[in-house]
Structures are given as C-alpha cells and as structure tokens.
Amino acid sequence: MCTYHEQDRASMGQRVALELDLVKGYRFFDPHVHMVSRTTDDYQAMADAGVIGLIEPAFWVGQPRTGIDTYRDYYASLVGWERFRASQFGIRHFCTIGLNSREANNEALAEQVMELLPFFIHKEGVVGVGEIGFDDQTAAEEKYYRLQLELAKEAGLPVQVHTPHRDKTKGTSRSMDIALEHKLDPAMVIIDHNTEETVKEVLDKGFWAAFTIYPFTKMGNERMVQIVKQYGSERIMVNSAADWGISDPLAVPKTAALMVKSGITKNDIEKVCYENAIAAFTQSGQLDEALFDEKIRIDQAEKFEGNSVLRGGQQPRRDADSIIIS
Ligand SMILES: [Zn+2]
C-alpha cells in the first residue's frame, strides 16, 4: 500500500515523463552542471531526456578547501574520471577550469591556485576559464577575477562568469565593465545566472546571456519562457547549474518542454537549449559540433585507471540502444 506522498511522487514522475515526451528527438547541451556531486541515476536520466553534452565549471565544493592538493585533485577529476563517467552514459563531458569567487577570498590558497591553473587550462576537454567572477564583490575577488581574465585572454579561451546572487545588477554590470577594461571580446564571455533585470544590458553589450533554472526559487522555467518570448533566442542559453544543493539536472529538457507547450518555435528552443552554448564554447578549439553527430560507443566494462562505473555483479551495457543498465 502506498502513502499519499508516494502516490504524489509517482504521479509527478509520470507527469515529467509525459512532459519530456514533448521534446523527444531533441538534442540538449547543458553548459553548466556540477556532475561530481550527482549520481549515475542523474547521468542516466539526462541521457534518456536527450542531453548529449555538458560543461562542468570548476566551483567550490560546499565547504572551504584547506589546501592546494584538494584543488589539484578536483581539477584532475574534472578532466579525468568525471569525463570518463559521463562517456559511460553516452554524454560528452567538457569543463571550465578556474578559481571560484568564494575561494578567491582565501588569498594564501588563491595564490597557489593561480600557479596551478596554467597546467590545467590547456588539457583536452577544457573549453574555458570558469566559473569566475564575484560573490561578495570584495577586493580579493576583483583581483583574481582580473588575473583570470588575463589568463583566458592569453590562452584564447572563453570565460564563464558567475554573477553574484546578492546585489546582482551591480555585480553583473561590474563583471562586464571589468572584462571590457581588460579588452576581452564580449563574444568570448558568457555571463551566467541572469535574471529579467540583467538580461537586456548583457545582450546590448554583446555578451552571451546564460540562465540557470532553479527549481522552486529565483529563475523558474516559466520565467525563462517569458524571457525567450521577449528577447528571442540570440546569444541566450539555458543551464541547470545542478550541484550538491536542491537542483535539477533535467532543467534544460524540462524548460524546453515548457517552451514547446508555450508555442516557442523549435528553432528558438534548439538555439537556447543546444546550439548557442556550443557556438560560444566552440571558440575554445576544444569542442566541435560535428562530434555530436557521432554517437559515443558505450562499453561500460571499460575502465579509467582501473575503475569502471559498474559494481559487483552488474552486467555492462555495450553500445545497446537502451540506456538502462541490465
Ligand atoms: Zn556553478
């Protein structure tokens, strides 16, 4: 016998499955999702919903790091194990590497991270410097934001900019002004976590405008539909920013389904949920759209440094059409 709560959950699952039917056959690219904190179920659900590629920005881990070694291992996992894990579900994994704004405030650590960055930003699959920018808008945050803008400019890499959740409008303007001051081409800068208040200025100044869909709060997907209705699909992209907090790794396909329901054209949906992000990050030279026409051959018996995604007794999936592990 199930409780009301379980029934609610079951019907919610069915509703989501029905909604996602509206976008069957679409391809999605989530340009901001922290997969190290997600499960294999999430990878499976994303693949089932049509997500064929993603970008994992380097970020903090929910509590302050105490030394450079954990930073080094984290970056190594973004270009190593996590990339492999995604591939085992048929998803192409890219990342951006950077010193996040919160930890820019630990200057002793920040100095060491700055020395480490050049060893990682040129690795395979690294499509930009990110996510960097402001959190509390402190002097230390500004210092390391500027240094990393220079690093990205020298390396010819796009920049993924995290805008602050507090005092957002000012923080967003300031992030763009500083990027322009350092002579970055706005076409190489993706301004993330936009809202209705920031989008116009970002687009007017020639930057890419990314939107994070947060379940229950801030930027919901209904609001995203309204933004596309008002501003169109040029230089706009949608992401989940799913991490270890309450967040939804299916935010991109779910938003696309809502856009279908709301009468937004397939062309516009494909642009904001797939093409624009790829176009922005292709400028790194590390991402080629043609890649997505080739399906990844999945062999879950494969190993990365001796480890596979399988656990005792599980049968590997080998390039079957179904994404279900038997
Ligand atoms: Zn993030």
SS (H, E, C) 237-286: EEECCCCCCCCCCCHHHHHHHHHHHCCCCHHHHHHHHHHHHHHHHHCCCC
Q: How far is the CA of 150 from the centre of ligand 1 (A)?
A: 21
Q: How far is the CA of 132 from the centre of ligand 1 (A)?
A: 10
Left if phi > 0, otherwise alpha if psi is -120 to 50, otherwise beta: which for 132? beta
Q: Is 318 a member of any domain?
A: no
pLDDT at 12: 67
Burial call 240-279: b when 16+ CB within 10 Å, e when fewer: bbbbeeebbbbbbbbbbbbbbeeebeeebbbbbbbbbbbb
Q: How far is the CA of 322 from the centre of ligand 1 (A)?
A: 30
Domain that holds residue 41: 26-284
Q: Is 210 a member of any domain?
A: yes
Q: Is 200 a member of any domain?
A: yes
Q: How far is the CA of 267 from the centre of ligand 1 (A)?
A: 27
pLDDT at 7: 58
pLDDT at 326: 34
For the chain, how many structural domains are there in total?
A: 1
Q: How far is the CA of 303 from the centre of ligand 1 (A)?
A: 28
Q: How far is the CA of 101 from the centre of ligand 1 (A)?
A: 11
Q: How far is the CA of 34 from the centre of ligand 1 (A)?
A: 7
Residue 107 φ then ψ, to 5°? -65, -35
Q: Is 301 a member of any domain?
A: no
189 with 161: CB under 8 angstroms?
yes
Residue type for 42, please?
D
pLDDT at 295: 80
Exposed/middle/buried for residue 56 (C-beta within 10 Å: 0-12, 13-18, 19+): buried
Q: How far is the CA of 61 from the centre of ligand 1 (A)?
A: 10
pLDDT by position in tens, the chain (length 326): 445 555 565 666 777 777 899 999 999 999 999 999 999 999 999 999 999 999 999 999 989 999 999 999 999 999 999 999 999 999 999 999 999 999 999 999 999 999 999 999 999 999 999 999 999 999 999 999 999 999 999 999 999 999 999 999 999 999 999 999 999 999 999 999 999 999 999 999 999 999 999 876 545 688 999 999 999 999 999 999 999 998 999 999 999 999 999 999 999 999 999 999 999 999 999 998 888 888 887 888 888 888 888 877 777 777 654 333 33
Q: How far is the CA of 249 from the centre of ligand 1 (A)?
A: 12
Q: Is 230 a member of any domain?
A: yes
Q: How far is the CA of 325 from the centre of ligand 1 (A)?
A: 29
pLDDT at 325: 39
Q: Is 136 a member of any domain?
A: yes
What is the reported pTM? 0.92
Q: How far is the CA of 315 from the centre of ligand 1 (A)?
A: 34
Q: How far is the CA of 240 from the centre of ligand 1 (A)?
A: 9
CA 196 to chain centre: 20
* CA quadruple 20, 23, 27, 28: dihedral sign: negative
Q: Is 322 a member of any domain?
A: no
Q: How far is the CA of 161 from the centre of ligand 1 (A)?
A: 10
Helix axes 221-231, 251-261, angle to 10 degrees: 60
| CATH number of the domain bearing residue 33 | 3.20.20.140
Q: How far is the CA of 229 from the centre of ligand 1 (A)?
A: 25
Q: How far is the CA of 265 from the centre of ligand 1 (A)?
A: 28
Both tokens of 11, joined, read 């019907």
Q: How far is the CA of 199 from the centre of ligand 1 (A)?
A: 18
Q: Is 51 a member of any domain?
A: yes
